[in-house]
Chains A and B, each alone.
Chain A
Amino acid sequence: MAANAPNAARGVLVIPAFNEAPRLATLLERIRVEQPALEVVVVDDGSRDATAQIAAQAGATVLRHPFNLGYGAGLQTGYKYAVATDARFVVQMDADGQHDPRDIARLLEPLERGECDLVIGSRFLAPTGYEMGFLRTLGRRFFVGLARSFGIRVTDPTSGFQALGKRVLALYVGDAFPSDYPDVDVLLTAHRHGLEVRECSVEMHASPRKSTLHGGLRSIWYLYKMLLAVWAASGGGPNERRPDARAPA
């Protein structure tokens, strides 16, 4: 697959999508205008709607999970594809239209200059007018503090808008990468392996979805799970660097 993949020398834009048919066409069209050189990979995470068909019609490479695996697993499938096709970098963004394709170029600048391995698009690095509810703000501040306690200085650790270099990809295709919420725990894993994490300011729109990954009762589960995952990531583990079959040696 690697030798024949399109844009093998360029970057891959990974969009994990689950039942995103109503929003996907507009997003893919905007990406085509803003970033025509990027190979767009839509990871359909077992959608029951026309997500995969819409993505294919828009010219995206579609990777279809046979059933729903979770947001993190969707991202990781995209990473595995990028590693297998020898892509130089991956940009990841959400399919719900929260992230603006115009920011991709800004996200890639530090990566292209070789200043870092991972760039996080932050809503809070500069005033962008993005508003969160009280509890989510509290949660964000807690996780910012937690990341800082490990020496990672970020303002938006839950942002799904990121650019990742090859070294990060090699790490993230391992078995330790979570299937559900890859946030502070994976940042910590990258940081522990000496990878440089940066942020750049991006604009984000409110998600049109009624429920988010971190909203409602899920937030309690998220808090519990993330604390446990951060604790596990802080000590490494036998699975952390286990190479995947498709990862480079």
Chain B
Amino acid sequence: MNDAQTLAHLRELFLDNTDLEATRWLALSISLVLIASVLWLVRRRQLREEYTPIWVLVSVSLVFVSIDVESLRVLTRWIGAWTPSSTVFFLGEIFLVAICLNYAVRLSRANLLIKNLAQEVALLRADLNRLARREAP
């Protein structure tokens, strides 16, 4: 058996590892806690509804792959990874980068709105002062 064949054999051993019960339960628990946290934050008005879909989607995906590990194995083979857990980490990193970029865009927009509002406050306050001076006896 040459090196390439040995590596391929090793990879299959990793992928076919059936001893994933603990990992499955852990992933399932984390995803359920994540869904519960999202709902709790919405109920406490600390998270606006429009920001929840992405987290619900992530949680539901985690639940799905925790139950159906074979789908994660298919994905792992497809992207060329060795273990299902590295696939989860890989996708997690992509998700974090994407969500950071998304929030940076939202933050830039919020900055612009805050600046415009503050300028409007300054202009309106000047109007108010002028009116107050005019009406003063």
Contacts and interface: CB of A to CB of B under 8 A. Distances in A.
A151 to B, nearest CB: 29
A13 B86 CA distance: 62
Interface string B1-39: 000000000000000000000000000000000000000
B100 interface: no
A4 B134 CA distance: 11
Interface in A75-92: 76-77, 80-81, 84
B115 A69 contact: yes
A64 B119 CA distance: 8
Interface in B77-133: 111-112, 115-116, 118-123, 125-127, 129-130
A103 interface: no
Contact of B123 (A67, A69, A73, A84): A84
A3 to B, nearest CB: 12
B125 A73 contact: no
B4 to A, nearest CB: 46
Contacts of A54: none
A43 B127 contact: no
Nearest to B130: A4
A244 B123 CA distance: 13
A23 interface: no
Q: What DSSP secondary structure best describes chain B's contact surface?
A: helix
A43 B122 contact: yes
Give the bracket for the number of chain B residues in contact with chain A.
10 to 19
Given A66-B118, A244-B116, A61 B123 contact: no
Contact of B119 (A1, A5, A61, A69): A69
B122 A65 contact: yes
A62 interface: yes
A1 B122 CA distance: 13
A63 B121 CA distance: 9
Contacts of A5: 130
A83 to B, nearest CB: 10
A76 B130 contact: no
Nearest to A176: B112
Interface in A30-48: 43
A175 B127 CA distance: 23
Nearest to A84: B123
Contacts of A69: 115, 118-119
A1 B115 contact: no
A179 interface: yes
B127 A77 contact: no
B118 A1 contact: no
Contact of B122 (A4, A64, A179): A64
A43 B119 CA distance: 10
A138 B121 CA distance: 40
B118 A67 contact: yes
Contact of B127 (A1, A73, A244): A1
Query: Max chain A CB contacts within 10 Å: which of B112, B115, B120, B127?
Result: B115
Interface string B38-58: 000000000000000000000
B123 A66 contact: no
11 contacts: A61-B126, A64-B126, A65-B121, A66-B122, A67-B118, A69-B118, A73-B118, A76-B119, A77-B119, A81-B123, A81-B126
Q: Report the 6 A-B pairs with minimum CB-CB distance, sorted nearest first.
A: A63-B122, A77-B119, A1-B127, A63-B126, A65-B118, A65-B122
Given A64-B125, A66-B122, 13 more contacts: A1-B126, A1-B127, A61-B126, A63-B126, A65-B118, A65-B121, A67-B118, A69-B118, A77-B123, A80-B119, A80-B123, A81-B123, A84-B123
